[in-house]
Amino acid sequence: MLFLGFAAGLPFPLVFGTLFTWLRDVGVDRTTIGFFAWIGITYSIKVFWAPVVDRAPLPFLTRIFGQRRGWMLLAQIGIIAGLLGMSVTDPVQNITTIALFALLVAFASATQDVAIDAYRIEAVAPELQAPMAGMYQSGWRIAASLVGGAAALYIADFISWPVAYLIMAACMGVGILTVLIIREPDHAINKTTFMSEQRVVEYLERTAHVPDFLRMPTAWFIGAVICPFTEFFQRNGKWVFVILLFIAIYRISDIVLSNMAFPFYIDLGYTKSEIASIGKIFGVVFTIVGAIVGGLLVVRYGVMRILLLGSVLVVVTNLLFAQLAMDGKSLSGLALVISADNFSGGLAGSAFIAYLSRLTNTAYTATQYALFSSLMTLFPKILSGFSGMIVDAQDYVFFFVYASVLGLPSILMVLYLMKHHPVELSEPDRDGKS
């Protein structure tokens, strides 16, 4: 999971934070940079093709590597192709082309996430999901911070941005090697799943007179798309929309803030090497500590209490950015802000991944988890697109306070769910009972 987390984390900064630094460094305006956040909507709509990743076999790849590993490998090839395209494109002269290559990287990365999430949940027992989430977060943060963040910034500072992206494409070889080494997990089919799949059987019986080339795709759609969503809605009943609303707003504060963090560092006067040294290398230690602490605390105190702690920490630490904006450039100030932000993000992330994993039926792993993770980022990414406009219209202090206030509803939602609907009530029984 450490290496798979690395493969999942590496592309992310290269189409967001690192890319935004590149764009601001060469003079692209903040409003345009803000709109680049909408590339992240790709991660938020992956639920639409998650059923394909969950069920549809790939020619050649699935037969040799299996369903999960085959899709991981295809996605990693797409990421490498997109990064190579970005490395040979001038963002000043061809801003649309760089956006299209970034979109390819994001699409392939989102597809890889679907396959990795399914593998993670299927590979171990439910009680080990929190430590698995912590290890995944650690690998993700190492790649996103140390490699796709710090290393890319150092290379760009001492050599050039194109060379940085070329080397990042080569680093995706870690993911490919991991896929070649690991074993394909068992794909569990429990009693609940069998009852749901009866809909497919009933449909095939009713449509026996219809030619196979027409009814088989429909049967596949029922089994791969309808059944996973029906199972989740039936299991949670009247609480479905409350749970989905909570998922949609829990990470809104830090996701919105992160869109302007790196342009903020550049505008405050930090060099790319300073951002790499403090913002990435120094910060990643606290992210890993936060992720591991979050995973351990979930095991000890339960997921809901740590979700509450994480949401409070995110709101508080985001206000530190506003203080830094008022104080001006300070290496110690940047170190404090980055450390606190990364620790809170790592802790909240581990707890939230554990929460989402427990909501998922292992029979529909990829599709259901993609629904949750898509909702987690959709609304924040839509709001993020306007972040550059807010900074240009007001200032950074106003923007960071605004981003912090956006986290207050998540605190209230956690408190409400703790009292009325703890996660255990919606967690599927692994023996097939709901």
pLDDT tens sequence across 115-138: 998 888 787 776 777 777 778 878
**All domains of the chain in start order, with CATH:** 2-425 (1.20.1250.20)
- Cα separation, 94 vs 221, whole angstroms: 40
Give pLDDT, residue 432. Answer: 42
pLDDT, average across residues 190-215: 63
Provide, rounded to the nearest whole percent, the portion of the chain with pLDDT above 70: 89
Dihedral, CA atoms, 130, 72, 255, 406, nearest 10 degrees?
-60
| Tokens found for residue 23 | 């764009």
| Average pLDDT of the residues of the chain | 85
d(CA 215, CA 203): 9
Q: How confident is the model at residue 434 (pLDDT cuts 50, 70, 90)?
A: very low
Mean pLDDT, rounded, for 342-355:
88
pLDDT at 196 over 60: no
Tell me the three-class secondary structure of 336-393, residue by residue: HHHHHHHHHHHHHHHHHHHHHHHHCCHHHHHHHHHHHHHHHHHHHHHHHCCHHHHHHH
Indicate the length of the chain as a whole number: 434
User: In the chain, pLDDT over 90 holds for what percent of residues?
Assistant: 35
Look at the block and give the residue holding tokens 């935004």: 20
Query: Which one, of 86, 95, 82, 89, lies nearest residue 29 by Cα?
Result: 95
Banded model confidence at residue 44, pLDDT cuts 50, 70, 90: confident
Structure tokens at 323: 């203080």
Residues 363-420: pLDDT tens digits?
Answer: 677 677 777 877 788 888 888 888 888 998 889 999 999 999 999 999 999 999 888 7
Q: Residue 379: what pLDDT?
A: 84
- The one-letter amino acid at 14: L
pLDDT at residue 199, as a whole number: 63
pLDDT single digits (tens) 60-110:
898 888 888 999 999 999 999 999 999 999 999 999 999 999 999 999 999
pTM: 0.73
More confident residue, 197 or 326: 326
Q: Do 41 and 381 touch, CB atoms closer than 8 A?
A: yes
Distance CA 381, CA 388 (A): 13
Per-residue pLDDT reduced to its tens digit, 247-290: 889 989 988 998 888 889 989 999 888 888 887 677 778 888 89
Say how many Å lie between the first and final Cα of the chain, rounded: 28
- The pLDDT assigned to 433 comes to 42
